[in-house]
Amino acid sequence: MTKIYKYQKAQDAYTTYCLVEPDYNLLETEDRITELCTIDGITYVSVPDSIILPAQPEQITVEEVVLTDELKAAIKSESPHVQLINERVVAKIREIYSLNDEIKMIRLSPSEESTAYNEYVEACREWGRVAKANLGL
């Protein structure tokens, strides 16, 4: 399971203080922390359970987020990672079906062809849902 954390970056005259990530070379996992987005000065990160956050600079406070529906929607809206997942879902669909093909399926419904189309699109969307769930969304 992945958790979402938040913190506010801090600055002084010489340094911007951000979340310190672990030394991935020492970990026995391919998992990584992902910075999702910043909303109103608060930065949200996705941290897989396989990763333990190291000590953080005293200038920032990292807190686990209680993910409400509203916050989840806001993060999804602002996150370039989620936008990329959405683009990849569309690209997967476009590998087989053009936009004109999709419009055609509306007119053909219900049919064997539209059923095959719907199943393929749903498989692409499921891939996207799993990718977002891996980010804790």
Give the model confidence (pLDDT) of 13-50 as tens digits. Answer: 999 999 999 999 888 889 999 999 999 999 999 999 99
What does pTM read for this prediction?
0.87
Q: Can you spell out the DSSP letters for 14-82?
A: S-EE-PPPP-GGG-S-----EEEEEETTEEEEEEETT-------TT---EE----HHHHHHHHHH-HHH
Backbone angles phi, psi at 89, to 5 degrees: -60, -45
Confidence grade of residue 95 (pLDDT, cut at 50, 70, 90): very high
Average pLDDT score over residue span 71-78: 97
- Whole-angstrom Cα distance, residue 137 to residue 67? 8
Tokens at 106, concatenated: 């509306």
Which residues 6+ apart lie within 8 Å of 88 measured at CB? Answer: 127, 128, 131
In this predicted structure, the answer to whether residue 109 has a pLDDT above a threshold of 80 is no
Contact 84, 42 (CB under 8 A): no
Helix axes 80-96, 69-78, angle to 10 degrees: 70
Percent of the chain clearing pLDDT 70 (strictly above): 100
